[in-house]
Chain A
């Protein structure tokens, strides 16, 4: 079980390293989307400071969506997903490995670059580190919830757009508590509540999402 998990994780990461375009595209998308906001809102640093955490969070959210559809789709169309299901290993563990690799490839780079974007919005060092923490806790939840949408739309026409429609409502709580923590901190409020809820959401989704995804994949393959 553990071996299968590591095997899939390594395979996906090696593939991503060989084909760097995925990671690079997501990163550039993140940079460009968040750099657009000052043009729309104006260069006033006080305004930018207020919207900064929100912009970074929305950017991270869009990046997560961008690569979501491919989490299972390529394996589905070349038939290797069927082998995974028939391999005898628990499908939930295999699914968790796929989701984990999706986060390592598209989520983690965004988290690492995020403080750079935050600087552009005039966020202080304290805010930046808090932003980093909330992103570290929140973006895995985005990958997890998103994979439900990706699994439900396997092989469906217009699957990428459909995935976004299905998943965006479920992203709302993550966005509220992720960006909210940084804003609350700026206002001098306590952020313990925000962080504990983010952690709770992460634990809950790690436990429950793989079950939903495994079932969705089985339905798609029937």
Chain B
């Protein structure tokens, strides 16, 4: 099944990049630098979507006590963090020519940075608890606390930003966005989505195998004694 999603992701990527680089016209304000948005915006969308889905699976795992959904949450976290990193990196490379600075304390960039911290915290907590079931449930609580806080953080960062920078530059695109630009962005977003599904499917399979091997090894060694 993962192979199918990989195939889909590859086809969509080729299509999306073709539209992005050869069909979409040059932006009259930003020149060619805007072509970064074909990966920046999809990565940013995925980073948020994956956090939502991860918290959803974590909550299901906590409430229903189902192992598979907890493992699904576990498998999603690294990809989510990766998407957040890509969004931040490409944001910086887009900001340099557009705003003249690699990093601007823009509300969205700042929120994205905090999202990265949330992913890092989630993975760090998981990594440091040895018992997998306890790790599942403790990290689920953290993910849930995070999901309650994400809107509060986003709102407060926006408030803070407007207070300190006044009418600052924002990421809003020019209203006259060509349809081919939008198409390229949406196709790339789909490609990123399929890629995330494929990767997390492979990772969840690996997690299941590792845990089973671990459990088998534990019961083996206790049998010897």
> Which residue of chain A has the shortest Cβ distance to B113 in the bound complex?
A169
Most chain B Cβ neighbours within 10 Å, of A177, A197, A219: A219
A76-117: CB near B (< 8 Å → 1, else 0) gives 000000000000000000000000000000000000000000
> Which residues 151-197 of A sit at the B interface, judged by CB distance below 8 A?
152-153, 156-159, 162, 165-166, 168-170, 172-173, 176-177, 180, 184, 189, 197
- Of A156, A166, A220, which one neighbours B142 at CB under 8 angstroms? A166
The answer to whether A165 touches B156, judged by C-beta atoms less than 8 angstroms apart, is no
Closest to B122 in A: A166
Q: B145 to A212, Cβ gap below 8 A?
A: yes
Question: B84-133: which residues lie under 8 A (CB-CB) from chain A?
Answer: 114, 117-118, 120-121, 124-125, 128-129
Q: Is B11 an interface residue (CB 8 A)?
A: no
Per the bound structure, the CA–CA distance linking A156 and B139 in Å amounts to 13
Secondary structure at the A interface, as helix, strand, loop or mixed, is helix
Task: Determine if A44 is an interface residue (Cβ-Cβ < 8 Å).
Answer: no
Question: Footprint of A on B, CB under 8 Å?
Answer: 114, 117-118, 120-121, 124-125, 128-129, 134, 137-138, 141-142, 144-146, 148-149, 152-153, 155-157, 159-160, 163
Closest residue of chain A to B110, judged by CB?
Answer: A172
A-B contact list, 28 entries, CB within 8 Å: A148-B141, A152-B125, A152-B138, A152-B141, A152-B142, A153-B125, A157-B128, A158-B128, A162-B125, A162-B128, A165-B124, A166-B121, A169-B146, A170-B146, A170-B153, A172-B153, A173-B149, A173-B152, A176-B157, A177-B159, A180-B160, A189-B163, A197-B156, A201-B152, A216-B141, A219-B141, A220-B134, A220-B138
For the A-B complex with A152-B142, A172-B156 known, give 10 more contacts whose Cβ atoms are closer than 8 Å.
Answer: A148-B145, A157-B128, A162-B128, A166-B121, A166-B125, A173-B149, A177-B156, A215-B141, A219-B134, A219-B138
Closest 4 CB pairs of A and B: A173-B156, A166-B121, A169-B117, A176-B160
**How many positions in chain A have a CB within 8 Å of any CB in the partner chain?**
29
Hey, which chain A residues are within 8 Å of B145, CB to CB?
A: 148, 170, 212
Could you tell me the distance between the alpha carbons of A156 and B138 in the complex, rounded to whole angstroms? 12
Main secondary structure of the interface of B (DSSP, over half): helix
Contact yes or no, B117 A156, CB < 8 A = no
Q: Complex Cα distance A92/B13, Å? A: 50
A118-168 residues with Cβ-Cβ distance < 8 A to B are 148, 152-153, 156-159, 162, 165-166, 168
Q: Which residues of B contact A162 (CB under 8 A)?
A: 124-125, 128
Q: Per-residue CB proximity of A30-70 to B under 8 Å, as 1/0?
A: 00000000000000000000000000000000000000000
Q: Name B119's closest neighbour in chain A (CB-CB).
A: A169
On whether the beta carbons of A173 and B121 are closer than 8 Å, the reply is: no
